[in-house]
Amino acid sequence: MAALPGGFGHALRGLVEMVSSQRNARFHLLATAVVITVFAVVGIPTLEWAVISLAVALVWTAEALNTALERLADRTCSEHHPLIRRCKDAAASAVLLAAAGAAAVGILIFLSHV
């Protein structure tokens, strides 16, 4: 990926590394593939694809920020610290909230087509 220009190459490297090292990111990858497949089969309109795309992007963004915060916290504080734990928990809750919201969006759109 070194041949890719600047920040784009770094971003792709980060995405590949996150998916390869984070179990939750692999789950999100599987969920993303399932969502795309199901809605492609159902045949949803463009506006609903846009909403689904934003929901999926929100989950991936939250997961990437959570991963970055966890790694930075682990690097800066090797011992268990209650404030670091609270920060990690808050970041993890952001992923949970994004995923729950995306699931709600997906369910509402899917139910409108069955």
CA angle 20, 52, 23 (to 5 degrees): 20
Provide the token pair at 85. Answer: 């734990």
Cα-to-chain-centroid distance, residue 109: 20
Domain 6-111 fold: Helix Hairpins (1.10.287)
Show the low-confidence residues of the chain (pLDDT under 50).
Answer: 1
What angle do helix axes 23-42 and 6-21 make, rounded to 10 degrees? 100
pTM for the predicted model, two decimal places: 0.90
User: 78-82 long-range contacts, Cβ below 8 Å, gap at least 24?
Assistant: none
Cα-to-chain-centroid distance, residue 21: 14
pLDDT of residue 3: 67
Write out pLDDT tens, residues 70-83.
Answer: 999 999 988 899 99
Q: Are 19 and 25 in contact (CB under 8 A)?
A: yes
Distant-in-sequence, close-in-space partners of 13: CB < 8 Å, separation ≥ 6 = 1
pLDDT of residue 114: 86
Q: Are 64 and 18 in contact (CB under 8 A)?
A: yes
